[in-house]
Amino acid sequence: MTDMPQIYLVTPPEIDAAFGDRLARVLDRAEIACLRLDLASRDEDRVTRGADLCREVAHRFDVPLVIKDHVALAERLGLDGVHLSDPRPIRKLRADWGPDPIIGAFCGTSRHEGMNAGEAGADYVSFGPVGATALGTGERAEPELFAWWSETIELPVVAEGALSPDVVEALAGVTDFIALGEEIWTADDPAAHLAELTAFFRA
């Protein structure tokens, strides 16, 4: 793989009405391949409002919007697909939905789960975390996993979790997408911080 990865943007876990303007500024200044609505809330009304807000902005910039796990909402709200934190439902979902909606799957650090997700009909798989973090089990998806995947499997792969400029640079040649979320949204100027994190792409 010689091309630089594309940017896969993830929303912060909490958003408000002002987030629409922040998101628009990022989409206006950076080429984004996909946006994932990834809210911590399990309140249907709040998730629906978040989806409506993000859909309006994302589609204005021709960026597809997927939602984490809420399959029924993805259909009802006219979103472009779903990102599953548990890949097991993929096969049935693909059969129900047909080929067009996006179905992605988070597979942690397991190449076996990634291959199973691809065989079941996923459009992409994501592995992570790729950076150092004390969250979860502490296990990391190492660059070797992405290198093996890119050499062996045609299905697009996303690197996510605890990304730093050094990690982004290390993975740039072996992943199709770099997923950035809280790495940029905690900054005063998310668009500028995104540019800093991905400066290696333009070097």
Position 1 scores a pLDDT of 43
Mean model confidence pLDDT for the chain: 95
Encode pLDDT of 56-108 as tens digits. Answer: 999 999 999 999 999 999 999 999 999 999 999 999 999 999 999 999 999 99
CA distances from 86 to 24, 60, 83, 107 (A): 30, 30, 9, 8
Q: By residue range, what is the domain housing residue 39?
A: 6-202
Question: The CATH number of the domain where 106 resides is what?
Answer: 3.20.20.70
* Domain assignment present for 140: yes
Do the domain assignments include residue 1?
Answer: no
Cβ-in-10-Å burial (0-12, 13-18, 19+) of 30 comes to middle
* Nearest alpha carbon to residue 42 among 79, 13, 20: 13
173 lies in some domain = yes
Question: What is the model's pLDDT at position 133?
Answer: 86
Name the domain count of the chain.
Answer: 1
Residue 8, beta-bridge partner list: 34, 179
Q: Is residue 128 part of a domain?
A: yes
The yes-or-no verdict on residue 23 having pLDDT over 90 is yes
Q: What is the pLDDT of residue 177?
A: 97
The answer as to whether 38 is a domain residue is yes
pTM here is 0.96
Evaluate whether residue 98 is within a structural domain. yes
Task: Give the up-direction half-sphere exposure of residue 101: CA atoms within 13 A in the CB hemisphere.
Answer: 24
